[in-house]
Every structure is written in structure tokens, then in C-alpha cells.
Structure 1
Amino acid sequence: MMSSERTVEQWAAEVARLEHQIAELQQRVQWYEEQFRLAKHRQFGASQERSDAHQLHLFNEAETLAGSPMDAAQETITYTRKKKTAGQRELALAHLPVERITYVLPEGDRVCDTCHGPLHAMSQEIRRELQVIPAQVKVIEHVQEVYACRQCERDALTTPIKTAPMPRPVYPGSLASPSLLAFTLHQKFTEHLPLYRQEQEWARLGVPLSRQTLANWVIYAAHTWLKPVYRTLKHSLVQQDIVQADETTLTVLHETGRRAEQKSYMWLYRTGREGPPIVLYEYQPGRQGAYARQFLTGFRGYLQCDGYVGYREVPDATLIGCWAHARRYFVEALQTLPPAARDGPSAIRDGLEFCNAIFRIERDLRDVSAADRHTARHARSRPVLARFAQWLRRQKRHTLPHSPLGKAVTYCLNQWKPLTRFLEDGRLEVDNNRSERAIKPFVTGRKNWLFANTPRGAQASAITLSLIQTAKENGLEPRAYLQYLFEQLPQRDLSNAASWADCLPWSPTLPAHVRTPANPATP
């Protein structure tokens, strides 16, 4: 045998090396395919995370089959639809003013075409329409009369002067009225209309208001009138024993010591299902946990978040996990499978079903008291959690840690203690969706105005959004409530919070016109 020829052992070793390399490459290709399918789903797929209806019964297949008819030739198809209630439209429009236009026959036409006798009104046919009155702008001149005494002018050394009382302006030296300020803030932060588009709309109405003027109004109104209310809301929030938190990115163009492309953050804090509804935003240049610790100074209780480690820096806070985030890992892992394999049984489906079981129990307990919910969770949710924990530990031993399923399993195991703390108190939520829904209006607005120009502008946005979202949570109409604040606060002593406590969003003495009209047709 020549020395250049390989031995059998060498060929065997080479084959083994190549097989190992092929296996590694196959795993890498599979990983890239999974990431491609996941990225494609995130870009083009539905954002909902619902499970297929027929997959909800994988764990109780025996009970489902036992209750089904034996004769496969017979099939019963049922569906449900919302029942229309008579008079539902009238109830929905009952709070609106009604203008009636009556059409009558002229006196000369009220004659029967057959016998030429007089006609009488037999009935009416009524057609209803909704009419929209476009925005109108008018100039309000505040004329303050000044009075003097004629006799003192003739005989006395000094003349007493009296002036008629007049409300203080919301922005001295400007054209801004309470209604105009409220409308501008409402358009930008509730309807997500950027200031440059508001400038164009005002031009079409024949009013020359530049976006710079509007921006100055927004910042002035937020820092002068809304900030004291914001501080009071913050004081009330940290007194609660259940708070939920979230954060999202924000770009601020001109910030000292930072590049324009660096990410800043908008933090959100809100109350739970009990207590006065409060939603607060706070702008910060970073995502460090020190910002959460600073904002929540004085807070003691449960803090629900998405598992971000920064919240661990909040002292005296017991962290609560989010089952929606845990479930999302399994939903995204499912999207990495080939389409033909998604509907069949798999370990990913099993993990998703455990999460679904938790949420099904919570839907059943939605309307019960906190004490009854606490008892029911121990009876129904705890056994599901015990089985899920065993399943996670088994999967941990057989699943690649960087695979989509491995990431889902790792997240659940790492967050297991916060995820299961909802068993401690019936007032706690199983997910952080309440805060995610609250931060969504900011995300929607960010898609329109893209960035903040300065930190002061970002802070103004945070303050205004806080007042608007808190007003909505308390059943108030944001524009009307902002106008009410701009009318009342200039007349009050801002240094004395008790003097304007009746202006807080949950005050029972707020006038009826600032409240969102209740829809009688909604149960």
C-alpha cells in the first residue's frame, strides 16, 4: 500500500467528520429557514395571536370525541350572530340633538284626486340622517370695562378706578383660547395629526397659524397647566399597591451629548384593575433601570412588566410576569414551522396549549370578585401550572437552547417565579396587556410624527398623552376635558392642589359635557 493512500480508519474518520459537518449545516439552514418564516410572518402575517379553534381541544380529545355522535353521516352546523334589537339605532342616537324638518302638502293640493274631498294627515314617514357641522373659527374679543367716579375726578385729589372682573387668559399675549389649545393637543395626541398638517388645515380655513406657533402652544400648555395635574396623578399612582409598566423607543433629534440616531425611551406606568385609572408616560434618554427606580420612588407593592431586568432595580417592588409574553414565544415558534406542520401535533403546540389553558380559566373568572378569583386560581390554575413546569423541565433537556422552542422554554423557566405570582392576589392580572394597550396610542402617533425635536418637546408629549389617556380611562372626552382644564386652571392657585382637586379625571363633580356620552345600546 502506498503511503499517499488513506487507510480505512482515516476514511472512516473523514466520513464521520463530514457527517458531523453536514448535520451542523442542516441545523444552521433549518435555523435560517425558521428565522425567514418568522420574519415573513411579522412583516405580512396577521398580528393576532389566536389559536386555531380545532387546536383548542388537543388536551381534552377524549372528552370531545365521547360527546360526539357516532354516525359520521349526520352533521349539524351551527353558528351565532349578534341579535338585532328593535330600536337599537334610536337608543344609540338618543343623546344627540334633533332638528326636525316637516314637509307638508300646500293647502291647494290637499284635495282627493277621486272625489275632490278634503285630505287629512293620516300618518308620517320619517327618514333619519346624521349631519356633520364642520369646524368653525371666530374671534372672541374680551372687553374689560374700566369705571371711574365723575365727582372724585372734579373734587378729589385721587380718583378711584374699578375694573370689571375678567377671566385670566390661558396664554397671555397670544391668540390661543382654551378651546383652540385643547383642539390642537387633541388633534396631535388623540387623532395623531402632526402639526404641519394642522398648519395646512388652518390655512384652508383662512387662519394663518404656523407649525412653530402651534409647537410653542403645545409645549407651553403642557408645562404650564398640565404638568401640575401630571404630578398629582403620579403621586396617586405610587400610592397604589399594583402598578403595570412598559416602555418603547423614541427618537429625539436635538439632545445635548447625544446623536440624533440614538434611541431614547418613552416609559409607561399605569394602575391595575382596581383604584382610580391612571396612565402616565415619562420620557427618558435611556432604558436603564435607574429611571424606573426614580419614577417609582415611594412605591411598595406588585409591579407587572414584561421580564425586562431593569425593573429589578425598583426597591420594595414584587415583580409579576406576563403570560402574554410567554405565550407569544410559542406563537412565534409555531410560525417558524413549515405551513404543513403547523396544524399537526408538536411540542410547540403542547406549550401553546398550556398557555391557552391559563387564559381560558381567566376568561371564566373575569367577572368574579378578587377573593373568588384567588380561590378559583388555586383550584384550577395551580394544577395546570404544575403540569406545565414538569413539561418545561423535560423539554429543556431535549431542546436546543437557541431554537425557537428552546427560547420559549428558557423564557418560561427563567420567568417562572414572576409568572406564577398572580396566584398570590386575586386582583393581579395574568398578563401585562393593559399597559401594552395603553402604550399603543403613543406608538400609533409615532408613526405619523416620527420623532421629537427636543427633550422639552418629548416631555410635553409625555405629559399631554398622560392626561389624554387617563381621561379616556375615566370615561372622559379628551378634547372637552382639556378645554375644561384650560378654562379652570388659570383661575385657580396651582400651588394649592386642593383648590383644583375637583378638576382631576375621576372627580365626581366634573361637568357632564366633559364625559363621553354613554351608548344605551351597549350592554
Structure 2
Amino acid sequence: MKTRSSNDLPNDITALKQLVLAQGSQLLEHQQGQAVYQKALSEKQARIQFLEEQIILFKHRQFGHSSEKNTQQVELFDEAEVEVSLSAPDVAQAVEPGQAPATKKAKSGRKPLPQNLPRVRVEHDVVDSDKVCACGCQKSCIGEETSEQLDIIPAVIQVLVHARLKYACKDCESGITIAALPPQPIPKSNASAGLLAHIATAKYQDGLPLYRMEAIFKRLNIHLPRNTQANWMIKGAQLLQPLYNLLNDHLLDSGYVHMDETRVQVLKEPDKLARSLSYMWVRRTGDPNLGDPRQTVVLFDYRASRSASVVDELLGDYQGYLQTDDYVGYHKTGLREGITHLGCMAHARRKFIEAQKVAPSAKGKVSKADMAVSLIKGLYQIESVIKDENPNQRMLVRQEKSVPQLAKLRKWLDKSLIHTPPKSKAGAAMAYLHKNWAKLAAYTKDGRLNIDNNPVENAIRPFAIGRKNWMFSNSQEGAKASAMLYSIIETAKANGLEPYAYLKLLFTKLPSCETVEDVEELLPWNALKLSTQ
């Protein structure tokens, strides 16, 4: 703005007024321009910070360790308020200041081999000359020393020859009678229940793709193409449908369901490109009684989309607790009357850990992300102490210890939220915590509830590992079969059953089932009871 000398100023009062107004207008325009410039600069700086954080986080995900543990994190909240007091009734263990919950240290060294394995005795004797003493007398055997080695025999493949005896009358040479063939899992197929169970366990439990199994069978001089195996898995999954229906009824009646979803690629889907994504939806019952058997159900369901309508379809008229992450597809169902929507504290913690990774604090300094992670750690310390207590005791301890700890976290959040850039990783983590606060704190109101959604995420992990190996499903039928078999295997594991043995039992018994009661006897907890009798 050009400065005028006193000689340049007009002597007329009206002209002076106009000059002052013009300069005021220029000053206002200049200030407005500066404000726009400062706003643009701030937005660019926030964008630069966001991109820098994304780059750091991408590098960490690509090259860093995957654990959420931060070795540089300052331990802030190991004080007595985070601990469970010894005076709390029925709590046998407490956390001392500055210490983690006491756990039994596992013994190091070689563990003994299982006693249920068959033993094959291999004797090693000395030569006859060594059985004669130097004095000339014959030595007597006074005992033995034994050691054990673990041995393995490759899979034994055999052919089951079903011989159906035939009877006829020799006098009239008519009236031929032949023994009936028991119902088979796949009629007119040469696949036994054991073979179907083996292929299903190898793929869906051990993550072995069908083309690798084809090569394994080929080494044994058996021609078993992958497309034949895939068709068997589809037909075997169809046989399991009645059992799945009962498991689904049990889950919807449980009153407490964890839910999550993960991507899956299906090559042949109507109106979709081969590279587009579909989803595997996973539901798991909570542990309302913390007893054995828990009658836990884990169900996988394939759907072509991630739409909120899928949640309504899978839950139907379900009433009770629903625990999920903050994906928007769950929001509408979570607001439905009769449903209490719970959040996942692990997701909230994970966002602050990401903030720690992109902006690590200097040595001796405490960042906002450090504060949040330490406060949340206090909540998990309480859970680690009471995890084996009954629901009533868990409820009492949470009210006494967890609620005050949550109040500390809330107070810190309210103070820090307004001073943190919203587009930074720390700001985004705080916004997530603030937005979901009611759902994240709701677990303290019932001792049956979990602090996070990890039970269902752990159930998804075998699927995610297998997906790295087989990568995609060829068809919708294959994806549905995968969902069915993952459901049965993960439910069996959750109830203490060995997957192969349980699948073989199902493929053997289900073809003969005629009533609902027959199928109910094959539910995992009923099969477990039968195996222990």
C-alpha cells in the first residue's frame, strides 16, 4: 500500500473522507486476502502432514514389525488405580504397582510326547561277546534305559471295497436279495467320508490349495484333478446345510453376537468384473456363561456385496448384544430396537498405535498417542486379571476399576481433542474414540461382554491365511462351499473338537439323518459329549 505525504493530501474535507474510505476498503481487502492465504496455507500444511504420515505408515506396514507393541512407549499408568484390589471379593489375583499380571512361566526344554500315541519297541542288545564278564561268567540283564523318538508314517491310502452280499432261492431261482449300501456323502462317487474330510481339512484348516493336493495325490500315483476335488467340496458343503441351519438358530438365540467381514475375490460373478471384491461375513457367539462346553458357534457367509442389507439379512429378527467395528454397514442394525450395539476397544487402540508409528515421541517425551495407549492399556490390565472370573464378579470389578479408568480417558480426550489437528493420525484416532464412546464403554454394564471384537477377528484369521495361498474362488458355488466348511471347522475348533475327526463323523452320519433330532445329535457340543462317554 503506497504511503502519502502531507503535501499529497487534499484540503477538501469531502475528498479526505473519500480517501479514508478508499484506504479502509483497501485495508479490508488486504486482510481478507491474508486470511484466505493463511487458510490455504494451513490446509496445505495439514495435507502435507497427512501425506507424510501415510508414507510413514505405509513403510511401517511394508517393512516394519506387525506387532502393536511399541518398545519405545513410556509406561505412564501403572499406578494403583489401574489395578484390581486384593480386597475385591473372589478375585484371587491382583496387579502390583509397576508389574504385569502374574502368570506361570512355561517350563523350558523338550516336552514329553503324547501318551495316546502308539509305541513301537525297538530293542538294542550288545553282541554276545560283551555278555561275558572278564572273570568268565555270563552277565545277567539287570534292566534297560529307554529314550523316545517321534516317528511319522506318510498318509496311508486305501480302497474301501463295498461287497454287498446277494441271496437267492436255489429251488425257484427267483427272489434275489442284496444287502443295501449305506447312504453315502456323495452318491455314485468314489469319495469316502474320510477322503472328503481330509481334503476339506487340508484346504480350509491348513490353507493347502487344491492344485497342490492334486500334485500330492499324483506322487502317490492317484489321478484326482482339482476340479473334481472342488466339485466334491461343493457337494459336501450342501450335505452340511441342515447342521448349519441349527447352528445359525443357536447363534441367533444366544443374545450376544460378534460380527465382522473380510474381502474375498470370486472370479465368476454375474455383472461383476473378475478383479472386483466380494465379502465373507463372519458371526460368532459371545461367551455368556464362560463355562465348558461353551457351545460357541462361528459362521461364515459369502455375499457379493458389503451392503448394510446383508447385516439385516444375516441377523433377521435377532435381539441382544451386537459387537462390531465402526463400519457404517452395522449402524442401522445397531440402532434397531432390542439390539445393544457394542464397539471394539482394540480398533480404538490400534488407531492411536498408528499415530505413535507415524510420529514417534522423542526420548523422555510423552505424546498424546502415548497417553491414550497407556490409558487404554490400563483397561486391558483389568480385563487380564478378571478374564477367568464369573460374569457377576467381572461386572463388580469393572464398575469398581474400569469405570473410573474410562472416566480418566474421557477427561483426557475432552481436553486433547480441541488442541489436535483433526486430519492428523492422532486427531483421527481421537475423533474415532469420541464418536464411538458410548459403544466402547458399554461393555462395563454386563459381565458377560468383551472389551473388544477380537473373538471374531481371531476366527477370521485362518481364512485370511488360507486366502494368501488359494487367493480366490472360481465361482459363487465355490465361495458358498468355502463359507460352509470354514463354519463347521471353526465351530468344531471353538468347541474342542479335532476338525478332521468331526468332518469325517458328519460325512458319515449326515447321509442317514432323517429328522431334526438326528442332526441335533451331531452338533459339536453333543458330539463332544458322545466322544467323552
TM interval, shorter chain, is: 0.7 to 0.9
CA contact (8 A) 2:361 2:367 kept: no
Shift of 1:221: 0.5
Of 31, 48, 52, 1:29 maps to 48
Deviations 1:438-496 (A, max 9, x none): 01111111111111111111100000000000011111111111111111111222xx2
What does 1:55-74 align with in structure 2 at a 5 Å threshold? 55-58=74-77, 60=79
Is 1:373 matched with 2:394? yes
What does 1:67-216 align with in structure 2 at a 5 Å threshold? 82=105, 84=107, 89-90=111-112, 92-107=113-128, 109-112=130-133, 114-153=134-173, 159-216=174-231
Aligned to 2:12: none
In structure 2, relative to structure 1, the CA distance for the partners of 1:306 and 1:173 (3 Å cut) is same
Shift of 1:222: 0.5
Aligned to 2:305: 286
Q: Percent identity?
A: 37
Question: How far apart in 2 are the matches of 1:108 and 1:59?
Answer: 71
In structure 2, relative to structure 1, the CA distance for the partners of 1:80 and 1:305 (3 Å cut) is closer
Shift of 1:25: 4.4
Is 1:324 matched with 2:338? no
Question: How far apart in 2 are the matches of 1:384 and 1:261?
Answer: 46
The SS at the match of 2:262 is: strand
Q: Structure with the greater relative contact order (CA < 8 A, sep ≥ 6): 1 or 2?
A: 2
CA contact (8 A) 1:334 1:342 kept: no
Q: Aligned letter for 1:168? A: P
Gaps of 5+ in 2: 4-22, 83-101, 289-293
Is 1:446 matched with 2:458? no
Question: How far apart in 2 are the matches of 1:482 and 1:450?
Answer: 24
TM-score (norm 2): 0.84
Shift of 1:504: 1.1
Of 230, 235, 251, 1:220 maps to 235
Question: How far apart in 2 are the matches of 1:150 and 1:17?
Answer: 109
In structure 2, relative to structure 1, the CA distance for the partners of 1:342 and 1:319 (3 Å cut) is farther
Shift of 1:21: 6.1
Question: How far apart in 2 are the matches of 1:484 and 1:170?
Answer: 11
Is 1:253 matched with 2:267? yes
In structure 2, relative to structure 1, the CA distance for the partners of 1:2 and 1:45 (3 Å cut) is closer
In structure 2, relative to structure 1, the CA distance for the partners of 1:184 and 1:205 (3 Å cut) is same
TM-score (norm 1): 0.86
CA contact (8 A) 1:502 1:509 kept: no
Deviations 1:58-84 (A, max 9, x none): 564999xxxxxxxxxxxxxxx999463
Question: How far apart in 2 are the matches of 1:351 and 1:502?
Answer: 49
Q: Aligned letter for 2:107? A: K
How many pairs align?
Answer: 485
The SS at the match of 1:324 is: helix
The SS at the match of 1:436 is: helix
CA-based RMSD of the aligned residues comes to 3.0
Shift of 1:307: 1.6
Deviations 1:226-247 (A, max 9, x none): 1111111101100011100000
Q: Which region of structure 1 is more displaced relative to structure 2, 381-390 or 211-220?
A: 381-390
Q: Aligned letter for 1:230? A: Y
Question: How far apart in 1 are the matches of 2:383 and 2:103?
Answer: 23
Q: Aligned letter for 1:334? A: Q
Shift of 1:373: 0.7
Gaps of 5+ in 1: 64-78, 154-158, 516-523
Shift of 1:305: 0.4
Deviations 1:63-109 (A, max 9, x none): 9xxxxxxxxxxxxxxx99946389x833x421211111112235554
CA contact (8 A) 2:81 2:405 kept: no
